[in-house]
Structure 1
Amino acid sequence: MADFDHTALRRLDLNLLVALDALVAERSVTRAAARLCVGQPAMSHALARLREWLGDDILYREGAAMVPTARAQALAPRVRQWLAEAQAMTLSETAFDPQRVQERFDLCLNDPLEALLLPGLVAALRQKAPGLSLSVRPVPAWQQLEQLDAGEIRMALGHFPRLRSVHEPVLLFRSGFGCVYNPALLKVPARPRPADLARLPHIHTSYAGDGPGLVDKVFQQQGLKRQVVAHTANPLSIPFVVKQSPLVAVLPDMLTRLFGSHADLRIVPLPWRALVLPISMVTHRRDASDPLVRFVTQELLAVTRAVFA
């Protein structure tokens, strides 16, 4: 509970404390006005208001000099301390030094993005912020924004078609799609059309980051329906499945680029205009001025540019 009366304090003009500090320091209305870059009449008015507010002369004339009263001298150091604290709190920002960070940073990203971006991000942070502990939370894609809103994580990466005004998205890249299959087990045209793929059995992942029904909508727009005969929650298992089974998988490029070591598989780009997946990094508005969030954001952008160059 606050230990002061908000209503009473709201009626006060706290700028008068700035005037009090200048008047006591300068012991002159003219010099105090010059210090605050105001006219002498405005400073004289401020002195009159101070006298009325505090019930004290604040400055009185003694010969040719102006002398602060005992009350003014007692108040001056406390006012100076308050003004210094107010300035430090509102006007000056401590320089952020990532080398001195000692805390944990929680974020969410799906398996393909983790495989693509985490190695470079960890390497950069170990060099630039060795005291920062990076923690990837195993949260399903549909729950990540809830975790962000609740403050459980500070950043989420993925495809988020439904954002609210409190979310601050930064587009990382736009992923196209490709189809993956084993040419020894399945015949696919060099430039497959939706009708070509609709005739083939598919394996589908609900965690590839392509959002609910994005691939299926493309087929539906052509009056087609694909044959999904297998589902998996782990998209990284797909190359091992299609290596042994005559199945095709339609997946985002950000995932298929991880399958390069599977030399017996074929990856065919699908330049279909409707198959484009925006991938964003999302933070919460409450963290807009957090220097650590800004720092991690910039490092992630740099890693993304390097990976997808």
Structure 2
Amino acid sequence: MRYRSIDLNLLVVLDALLDDPSATRVAERLNVGQPAISAMLAKLRDHFGDPLLVQEGRKLVLSPVAIELKPAVHAWIERARTLTAAKPGFDAARAERRFSIACSEIVAGFLLPLVSSRLARDAPGISLEVRTFSAFRAARTPAIEALERHGLDFVVLPSIFTSAEHPRRPLLTAAYRCLVWRGNHAAFPRLDEVAFYRLPHIVPTLLDGSVATIESDDALIHRAQRERAVRTEHLLAIPFALANTSLVATLPSFVAERFAARQTHLRLVDCPIPLPPLSEVVQWRQNRENDPAYVWFKDLLLDCAKEIAPQA
């Protein structure tokens, strides 16, 4: 068989080079010397009978053969990782591993503290690496960007941004409520539709400026004078920004309720217009669908989500 003529470890190097065609950067990433990477590239070129990386100006680019090989090599590496990580059963109390997850500030600030508390109590050897969803929001397919290119274990994001190529489960669903400063007389005794559209709004955003909570912000600020809307990437700044202003913050109910409970200068009011509920979905890599550790952690996320946003 032809695969016996190649050291399968070379495929790890090939996968890295196909992802980033730079021997210097791949050497740093794999913690080996650049001459070793160049030697392994020579062996790969001999095996496939193709240069794989070709000079274009001052940089190396993938050859047509390399482009064709890329998905197959990546899939093989992922299957190998799954095979070597597989263990018969999973004992969370004794396990030592790290899970990585990309999510919004809302999920990081309100769900993950519960997850961390449960891990400390039930699985002290398991730790979390948290990445912001903003880092992948500009990608055309942010779920694929996070799970495949960056190799994260889980991603939590609005349902409209999920990928059909990976398993998914609904995680958080919540209606929206509004927060105002207690001295905002335009919203007293209640916030009506006229005042909602007349008053300026403050909305949490992602790095690309898009609204981070409501899947479409048209209903919220299209008629509510966009030029008067305050946008912030910092969700936790919103309660303080409302003080002594006529601003309105429209947030998922579990977020608005907790802010109001902690900040006495805020008042919680019902949203006077119909809005689609927040719908956050958790996804994980397809090749880990049957990994007992993944199943356990996914169930932990779902269980903690019920505590902050109980489903009817």
Q: TM-score, normalised by structure 1?
A: 0.63
- The 5 A counterparts of 1:57-68 are none
- The 5 A counterparts of 1:39-118 are 94-118=88-112
Q: Is residue 152 of structure 2 the alignment partner of residue 153 of structure 1?
A: yes
| 1:184-215 deviation per Cα after TM superposition (whole angstroms, max 9, x unaligned) | 14421544343321111222221463255x23
Q: Which residue of 1 aligns with 2:270?
A: 269
Q: Distance in 2 between matches of 1:93 and 1:252?
A: 39
Q: Distance in 2 between matches of 1:299 and 1:279?
A: 16
Instruction: Tell me the SS of whatever aligns to 2:90.
Output: coil
**Alignment match of 1:216 (pick from 215, 218, 233):** 218
Q: Which residue of 2 aligns with 1:169?
A: 168
Are the aligned partners of 1:216 and 1:226 in contact in 2 as well (CA < 8 Å)?
no
Q: Distance in 2 between matches of 1:191 and 1:210?
A: 23
- The 5 A counterparts of 1:272-287 are 272-287=273-288
Aligned CA distance change for structure 1 residues 275 and 195 (closer, same or farther; 3 Å): farther
Q: Distance in 1 between matches of 2:218 and 2:172?
A: 22
Q: Is residue 309 of structure 2 the alignment partner of residue 308 of structure 1?
A: yes
State the AA in 1 paired with 2:203.
H
Report the Cα offset of residue 219 of structure 1.
6.0
The unaligned stretches of length 5 or more in structure 1 are 5-88
The unaligned stretches of length 5 or more in structure 2 are 6-82
Instruction: Tell me the SS of whatever aligns to 1:275.
Output: coil
State the AA in 1 paired with 2:129.
S
Q: Distance in 1 between matches of 2:292 and 2:150?
A: 16
State the AA in 2 paired with 1:209.
A
RMSD value over aligned CA atoms? 2.7
Aligned CA distance change for structure 1 residues 198 and 118 (closer, same or farther; 3 Å): same
Aligned CA distance change for structure 1 residues 273 and 139 (closer, same or farther; 3 Å): closer
State the AA in 2 paired with 1:106.
S
State the AA in 1 paired with 2:92.
P
Q: Distance in 1 between matches of 2:166 and 2:101?
A: 14
Report the Cα offset of residue 119 of structure 1.
2.0
State the AA in 2 paired with 1:217.
A
Report the Cα offset of residue 157 of structure 1.
1.6
Q: Distance in 2 between matches of 1:240 and 1:155?
A: 32
Higher alpha-carbon Rg: 1
Aligned CA distance change for structure 1 residues 236 and 176 (closer, same or farther; 3 Å): same
Instruction: Tell me the SS of whatever aligns to 1:289.
Output: coil
Q: Which residue of 2 aligns with 1:187?
A: 186
Q: Which residue of 2 aligns with 1:232?
A: 232
Q: Distance in 2 between matches of 1:306 and 1:285?
A: 27
| 1:98-155 deviation per Cα after TM superposition (whole angstroms, max 9, x unaligned) | 2332221100122222222122211211232221121111341615521123253111
Q: Distance in 1 between matches of 2:276 and 2:228?
A: 18
